[in-house]
């Protein structure tokens, strides 16, 4: 169940939107992801997008996404979309794995076995996706004038 976003007129909009489970790692991939993020925001917040001041993202440790490339591509897309002033904050999400034996442990390396039973048979509970955590929008009263 997705959390219901709280849209405040000005200030922080708390949202958690999954963007994509990423794979690969070429600059084209990060560019596509940046477009995805902007499309997702435009779709969800069409009235707020023009007043956007900041975007906060979480990038999973094993998402295959290069944080610097995503940051670069997002700025490129924001510039193209006439939003060059928008701040981008990207945080890395640590990976948690769940083993077939039921043990849950933080995964720091894909070659790391389960600390309880030594198996490699596990799945990632976190750390593999990209999330838009929050956005900040400018208050309506503020005008940049001309």
Enumerate binding residues for Zn ion (CB under 5 A).
99, 101, 103, 114, 116-117, 119
Q: What is the distance between the alpha carbons of residues 120 and 7, in angstroms, rounded to a whole number?
A: 43
Q: Are 43 and 132 in contact (CB under 8 A)?
A: no
Closest separation in Å from C-beta 63 to Zn ion: 23
The alpha carbons of the chain give a radius of gyration, in whole angstroms, of: 18
Strands 52-60 and 129-137: antiparallel
Closest separation in Å from C-beta 104 to Zn ion: 9
CB closer to Zn ion, 101 vs 125: 101
CB closer to Zn ion, 18 vs 106: 106
Closest separation in Å from C-beta 21 to Zn ion: 23
CB closer to Zn ion, 9 vs 116: 116
Distance of CA 49 to the CA centre of its chain: 17
């Amino acid at each position: 169940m997705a959390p219901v976003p709280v849209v405040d007129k000005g200030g922080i909009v708390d949202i958690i939107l999954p963007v994509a489970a990423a794979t690969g790692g070429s600059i084209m991939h990060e560019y596509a992801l940046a477009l995805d993020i902007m499309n997702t925001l435009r779709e969800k917040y069409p009235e707020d997008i023009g007043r956007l001041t900041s975007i906060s993202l979480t990038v999973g440790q094993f998402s295959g996404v290069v944080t610097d490339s995503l940051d670069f591509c997002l700025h490129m897309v924001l510039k193209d979309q006439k939003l060059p002033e928008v701040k981008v904050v990207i945080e890395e999400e640590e990976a948690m794995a769940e083993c077939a034996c039921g043990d849950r442990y933080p995964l720091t390396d894909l070659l790391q076995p389960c600390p309880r039973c030594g198996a490699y048979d596990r799945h990632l509970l976190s750390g593999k996706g990209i999330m838009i955590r929050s956005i900040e929008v400018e208050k309506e009263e503020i005008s940049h004038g001309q």
